[in-house]
Structure 1
């Protein structure tokens, strides 16, 4: 987001993995016949074990240059499992064609000078990949996979290898031609990985399990971590080797998880362009992408929301955090709470400032943190006031997802440079969506009801947010009445 005269939000560079945080979850029964808040892409949102099964089938593949350790054993199990999935899914997806596994698996230690992959030395190669030249898949067992496993568990490793195997599937199915943009092939691979994860979540895997609440949330954290770094319009690297933002990559993953591998071939530049619409991809040259959270900034965003949504009775602002404790019809949801009885937004400014702080040590987390992590929560509480004025129920699971959807719609609305009465211009900037998505996954507040409670599935929260980003207020109200 940007406020001419001082305002902006951006995204961190690609880093290592991050474990998803916990959020308060609603209990009770779903209320919509159209969208069940307690289901994930048609599956019941469940807690339970996630990762390698205690009785997992042995890997069917051997690993070249392996050290015989647990990391390579996990990777071999993941590849064996992914190939078992594709042995079933490939003929169904590609007109009965037979699936052919890659020729070999290669392991290396990025700290060791002796490794080779795809004809190149692997010293310093903290990565995993599909090598088209010799039809192999390889990974760094020294740093990358252990970091993935530490941050996101066994399924973080499986997720990355499923993505790399997606490239092998693209090649075999001739989806990846010489002129296929990297952006397209990467998001198709994200989509194929999502389809594999659905197979695991359904209980079809003989080696892994995946819960559709915390387990799937951790997988989504891994997807977010591999987003593109944020570039400005003047950066020479902008648009080169483009893989997609966190919002785009999570969307592609969700397509595969929800609709299966057949949906992945539909991802092309036109489809990605439709998803992007007018959403900004690059930062303007004169903006840093971050605005410190202050009382003035909060007032400017509320002013912009007043213009965008034009409520008959705009909510009042109160910076006395303790005032949320006296609301008679809603519990506090710090750092921003909405009280329907008084139509007031209560802002704990120091807490909001902490939430909106940009991460300093990008080497330890893959989250996209920054000012819009906080401002998306502020907008979500404002939209509680909009819903209250429309006579909508505010304290159900469906209200939580409706709020997520409306927050997405408001985020897109602010791409249209809203000029406030004090002369400031509020506008979405590149990176804002990624910061909002990270917050929705980890703390869930921008996708919560009036009491700050959300549904257990980060997948469902992000899906509702995306509906709003790509739609509008009316679409949100129709989907989550």
Structure 2
């Protein structure tokens, strides 16, 4: 986010990352019955949103593939099991989708990035902390020394499986002709994200003989892993601009969700035009020498609220209070710190210290993976304003599961509206910057506050919360009210 006063321009900092481990949501989970069989808040792409076992089954079938150059250790056994399982899926899904015979990857190769005697795809593997599909010889390889153990620590067994399912997605895309030598990296990567999502759906449906995946916290962890592989945030003058572009967290999670929801056939629709439509006017690069971070202060909070009034023009704009203690006095809603909305008084109450903490960047030495920064806080503030918009709209409850997802959706609408600079009455200019959407997505997944109802309650599935946010990013206010009545 940026805010620039007249005259001149003061833009703030780059998106950093927060801790790699998926944090537990601060909000509580809603109970109740959904009103739509298509947009059931307690289901994930048609499946019940439940918690349960996630990872390698205790009595899992062993791997069917051998691994070249393996040390025989536990991480290579997990990887070999993952590849074997992924191939079990594609043995059926591939001919059903592409009407052709499935041909497995030619070989599997393991290396230790700390060692000196490995080679993959013609490249020395010393320092190669990566996994990949080699187009030239149809092999799949991975670093057992740093990459896969780190993924397992951060995201569990399914973090490892997710990465290998992505790499196998490249193999499937090449085999089927979805991608070729002239396919842009951006397209190929998101096709692979999509194809990995279709495999993960198969696991979540309890079809896998080796792995399980709950649609609650289990799938949330997989999504966190997908987010962790977003493109780094770059300035317009960075020499790496346009090189090896894979996509933002918002784009990559969206592609994964397409495959999870609609199966591998949906992945054929991903091309430059589709990605461009999904990206729209969302900023991708930061201005030269700027970082995109707007410190959370009383002035910045007032500027965001003023911007919302300009963009949504409510007849009765909500009041803003910075006295956090008054949130408990609301007669018809519970506090949802660090930002709360009281329908009875039409007031947004902000705990400034709490909001500042929510919007803080992680220190580089934390070695985190999820996007953290100012818009993890501002998206929560905006979401409380969106509750005021719902109150004025009328005809909808503010304390239901539908309200939680409607709020996420409207927050997506507001996010896009801020891609154009908004000049507030005090002469400041507010604008979305590159990285802000990824920060919002990370917050919606990890704490759910921007996807919560008036009492700060959300739905169990981060998948559903992000999906509702995307509906708003790609739609408008009325679409949110229609989708989540």
**TM norm structure 2:** 0.97
Alignment of 1:79-90 (within 5 A): 79-90=83-94
Q: Tell me the SS of whatever aligns to 1:63.
A: coil
Partner of residue 335 from structure 2, selected from 332, 335, 342: 332
CA distance in 2, matches of 1:316, 1:208: 51
C-alpha contact 1:34 1:479 (8 A) present in aligned 2: no
Please say which of residues 281-290 and 328-337 is displaced more in the overlay. 281-290
Can you give the 5+ residue segments of structure 1 that lack an aligned partner in the other structure? none
Q: Distance in 2 between matches of 1:364 and 1:81?
A: 30
Q: Give the aligned CA root-mean-square deviation in angstroms.
A: 1.3
TM-score, structure 1 as length reference: 0.97
- Cα distance in 2 between the residues matched to 1:362 and 1:369: 14
CA contact (8 A) 1:18 1:364 kept: no
Within 1, Cα distance between the matches of 2:178 and 2:36? 39
Residue-by-residue CA offset, 1:305-333 (whole Å, 9 max, x unaligned): 00111111111111111111111111110
Q: How does 1:350-365 map to 2 (within 5 A)?
A: 350-361=353-364, 364-365=367-368
Distance (Å, rounded) in 2 between the aligned partners of 1:363 and 1:251: 27
1:271 counterpart = 2:274: yes
Q: Is residue 17–residue 147 contact of structure 1 (8 Å, CA) maintained in 2?
A: no
Q: Cα deviation per residue 1:156-212 (whole Å; 9 max; x = unaligned)?
A: 000000000011111111222221100000000000000000000001100000000
* C-alpha deviation, 1:9, in angstroms: 6.2
Q: How does 1:406-421 map to 2 (within 5 A)?
A: 406-421=410-425
- Gapped regions of structure 2 (runs ≥ 5): none
Is residue 184–residue 267 contact of structure 1 (8 Å, CA) maintained in 2?
yes
Find the aligned partners of 1:235 and 1:329 in 2 and give their Cα distance.
50
Deviation of 1:10 (Å): 4.1
Q: How does 1:84-163 map to 2 (within 5 A)?
A: 84-94=88-98, 96-163=99-166
Deviation sequence 1:204-229 (CA, Å, 0-9, x none): 10000000010000000000000000
Structure 1 residue 75 displacement after superposition? 0.3
Match of 2:293 in 1: 290
Number of aligned residue pairs: give it: 479
Is the 2:16–2:371 Cα contact (8 Å) retained in structure 1? Answer: yes
Match of 1:304 among 303, 307, 317: 307
Q: 2:67 aligns with which of 63, 68, 86?
A: 63
2-structure distance, mates of 1:371, 1:343? 25
Counterpart mapping for 1:51-450 below 5 A: 51-94=55-98, 96-285=99-288, 287-361=290-364, 364-391=367-394, 392-450=396-454
Residue from 37, 40, 43 that aligns with 2:44: 40
Distance 1:440 1:233, change over 3 A: same
Superposed displacement of residue 34, structure 1: 4.2
Separation (CA, whole Å) in 2 of partners of 1:303 and 1:9: 22
Distance 1:416 1:232 in 2: 18
Is the 8 Å Cα contact of residues 10 and 432 (structure 1) preserved in structure 2? no
2:2 maps to what in 1?
Answer: 2
Q: Quote the Cα distance in structure 2 between the aligned partners of 1:362 and 1:444.
A: 26
Structure 1 window deviating more from structure 2 (219-228 vs 270-279): it is: 270-279
Partner Cα separation in structure 1 for residue 23 and residue 143 of structure 2: 23
